[in-house]
Amino acid sequence: MNVLRLPKNVLLKPAQLRRIHATCVRKDIVGPPDQVSNLRPVIYDDAPILPPDGVRHPYSLREFTGDTREYHWKMQRQQLDAYNHEFWTDSNTRFEAAKQAYLDSLPSSCTLEDQETALSVFYSKWVKQETARQQQYCTEWRKRNWSNIMLGARVKYQMLWSKITRSSHSSLEDARKD
């Protein structure tokens, strides 16, 4: 086995260590905040599943392994993000429109202090008005998120189990050959 040994006083940066280690870097990508919803979009970087040894095909079958749970989990994450984005886009759009209408209803002779007092009243009314809708959203979001976490745990467990059984399978085959 070829092992690279470095002197103890040599410190490598993570990028340099990555060049030494053969595995690829996996990171989710987070974008800038949306202007209306204020949420940052996420592009999930899921590791491709490697095909079993000896399976060769001219087309990329790595994308489609036939594991429906994993596809379902990926779609569920995206649906949860879309649900979250849709709710906050709608909520923030309605809030800004209501706030602007409230400010427009104030007399033009209002001082800045009067506007701040009026906005304080508006915010209080808005929170009371939106409480039921917000609670309904939170309940639904928690339910969906918990379902997503459970499915993700099942997928990760299944991946771990397949690695364990694959490695034990190959070690048994190696023992039989000897």
Q: pTM of the prediction? A: 0.68
Q: What is the pLDDT of residue 137?
A: 98
- Indicate the residue type of 30: V
**Residue the block writes with tokens 């919803």:** 37
d(CA 10, CA 16): 12
Q: 3 pLDDT exceeds 50? A: no
Q: 48 pLDDT exceeds 60? A: no
Question: Are 34 and 85 in contact, with CB atoms under 8 Å apart?
Answer: yes
d(CA 142, CA 66): 29
Three-state secondary structure string covering the chain = CCCCCCCCCCCCCHHHHHHHCCCCCCCCEECCCCCCCCCCCEECCCCCCCCCCCCCCCCCCCCCCCCHHHHHHHHHHHHHHHHHHHHHHHHHHHHHHHHHHHHHHCCCCCCHHHHHHHHHHHHHHHHHHHHHHHHHHHHHHHHHHHHHHHHHHHHHHHHHHHHHHHHHHHHHHHHHHC
User: Among 26-35, 55-64, 128-137, where is mean pLDDT lowest?
Assistant: 55-64
Q: What is the pLDDT of residue 145?
A: 96
Alpha carbon separation from 120 to 93, 98, 102, 105 (Å, rounded) = 19, 13, 11, 15
Can you tell me the mean pLDDT for 134-139? Answer: 98
Question: Are 119 and 106 in contact, with CB atoms under 8 Å apart?
Answer: no
